[in-house]
Amino acid sequence: MAFRLIVASGNAHKIREIKELTAHLDLEIIGLAEAGQVPPVEEDGATFQENAAKKALETARYLGQWVLADDSGLEVDALDGAPGVYSARFAGEGRGDAANNELLLSRLGQLPLEERSAQFRCVMALASPQGELQFSEGVCRGVIGFEPRGANGFGYDPLFIVPELGRTFAELSSEEKNRISHRSRAIEGMLAILSRMGQ
């Protein structure tokens, strides 16, 4: 029988990526929408790790099940690591991806490509109902383009260029993105733990 793992997210894109990345394990991945009514967790941490830990622990205790949570975002070198933990609400709460991308482009102005370096960072936290907690982290380096390109992905994907491929995350297939993304690298760190559960 598959081991049931709740992913503490309502983001369908994120849940699909995690399902794809763990497809070879005997795990039943359930998003928050399928887990029933769960009180929202305020992501008020100063770091990705604090937010991921809080989401995982509070949700695991509430549901009485193992929970995987992540916090991830974009860190732009020229903006001293911003938007960072505020990536999803960079342009304001509820403004959405397009507004966040517009604000990012406006903040970077006409900086040349070599000064637009950035990275996506993902920190994952795995929590048990008893409060056990384990972390993994993944980073993918790139540069911020001058205009959105591509129709795949979400968030800042249309602006984030992977230099060795010359394409944005939004121009990659899900298989290509899953080979190099920050989330796939964080999942790799969790695979040994998850594989023990999915046996």
User: Considering its fold, how many domains does the chain have in total?
Assistant: 1
Q: What is the CATH number of the domain that holds 45?
A: 3.90.950.10
pLDDT beneath 70: ranges in the chain: 1, 197-199
- Residues annotated as catalytic are 71
CA angle 126, 127, 128 (to 5 degrees): 135
pLDDT at 182: 94
Rg over CA atoms, the chain: 17
pLDDT at residue 199, rounded to an integer? 46
Starting at the earlier edge strand, list the strands of the sheet with 117-127. 27-31, 3-7, 67-76, 117-127, 133-144, 160-162, 167-168
Q: Dihedrals φ, ψ of 164, to 5°?
A: -70, -20
Which structural domain, as residue segments, surrounds residue 82?
A: 3-197
Q: What is the value of pTM for the model shown?
A: 0.88
- Which pLDDT does position 197 carry in this prediction? 64
